[in-house]
Amino acid sequence: MKRVGHLINGSEVVGGNRCQDVYNPSTGEADKHVLLATKATVEEAISSAQAAFPAWRNTPAIKRARVMFKFKDLLEQNSDKICQLIGEEHGKIAHDAAGELQRGIENVEYACCAPELLKGEYSKNVAPDIDSWSEFQPLGVVAGITPFNFPVMVPLWMYPMAIVCGNCFVLKPSERDPSSTLFIASLLKKAGLPDGVINVVNGDREAVDTLLNDERVKAVSFVGSTPIAEYVYVTASSNGKRCQALGGAKNHAIVMPDADMDNTVNQLLGAAFGSSGERCMALSVAVAVGDVAGDALVSKMKEAMSNLKVGPYDDPDNDFGPVITREHQQKIIDHINHAEQQSAEIVVDGRFPEIAGYERGFYIGGTLIDRVTPDMDSYHAEIFGPVLQVVRVQSMQAAMDLIDAHEYGNGTCIFTRDGEAARYFSDHINVGMVGINIPLPVPVAYHSFGGWKRSLFGDLHAYGPDAVRFYTKRKTITQRWPSAGIREGVLFSMPS
């Protein structure tokens, strides 16, 4: 069985005895072992990054950007292999994997703008013969801890910008689907990145805790569940590190009575069931305003869902694939069971799909649950599966109050033809990313991604302009070169 190791100082490291199985979710079979890094292994990766930092820090920004240009080309040239690795270990259908990779490439493209982004600011003659300017200097060794659901895109949110800003990076990807992350990191070496600037260690909590507690790591980026995000943020911050920790979500879509219902249904299908619902921006709750809208939505969704196809990753005709593990499959089934026990109506039941030849795969079919109420367990939980719940309210304000009352504030949207309603919604909803007739309002690479409330711990969002601020520290310099022969006396008052 193949062993998946680590990448440290430009070389593959496959030593050690701690390991766990890597499954193909489509078949339910384990075909690889991933090594789990010990504290010593992680410390070796940190040492490698620290040793590479002085030279990389002093490399001109334009040369760092040229590495990113080459890296982008290599990602595009190897797209088929990357998508295959995503499919084998995550279960994502090829067209969905290609979309994930493209969104990651867009962040690399933004990183190519480093010479412009890092120019700093300059003011001449802020006082007689005195000039002042600011510089954006790298932090040093920084780390990223990334989730299973986007093994390519989320790491590309982090290390391209961190590296192009002059930092060196240690990445701890999910141990459930590590191969695509390692392969992509190896492409950076082909792009001309010096050894040690990027290091990848696979592991569990021992690896995470080592990164959080090692004083050489100056900043940590994290994406995952809210309980772990809070732990990462509290631990990193208590150790004096800069930290951004993106957590869970429960994304609502308000469906107004005037919405284009056919278009709304099409949008909800992809947003709720794409990638098997394993997205932090997945739409998992549709809030119908009025029973007329609710009845129309449920009726049309039920009809449209009859055409959904769930199956293995390597069949491009499938709409979505399996979920990541058998344990997660059972967790989703339990949420559906609880909703049914608490008197919700299971309109479309995806608990036990039959996939010929793939009976051991971790499949959940598209599921539609109506008459869900805010006191139900399934409403509060981030199900993270292909499940859409419908809640019915009688007014737009009631829908907004429902969304604002939830502990998560990652993404939300409204479907309407009413510009006044849309403007009021976007102005007043207490959520970080908002869509108007757009179900997945994920910002493009030159904006920044992040939710509110318990969906984000930290002051800066991911990628885009906030990433430049997160991965650099501002230094302001004020200098004076007085004209020859001019001398001033001592000044004791402000400003001097």
- Catalytic choice (112, 165, 168, 280): 280
Q: How far is CA 429 from CA 246, 387, 399, 400, 410, in A?
A: 19, 24, 10, 6, 11
Read off the tokens for 224: 């995952």
Strand partners, 219: 142, 242
Is residue 5 a contact partner of residue 173, using CB atoms and an 8 Å limit?
no
Report DSSP letters for 161-207, one per residue: HHHHTT-EEEEE--TTS-HHHHHHHHHHHHTTPPTTSEEE---SHHH
| The Cα angle at residue 73 between residues 317 and 220, in degrees rounded to 5 | 90
| Partners of 468 in beta bridges | none
Q: How far apart are CA 320 and CA 327, in angstroms?
A: 19
| 456 burial level (CB within 10 Å; 0-12, 13-18, 19+) | buried
> Widest CA span of the chain, in angstroms?
91
3-state SS class at 288: strand
> Beta partners for 411?
433
CB 295 within 8 A of CB 345: no
Signed CA dihedral, 438, 442, 448, 452: sign only: positive
Which of 462, 460, 484 is CA-nearest to residue 473?
460
112 is catalytic: no
Report, as residue numbers or ranges, the catalytic residues: 280
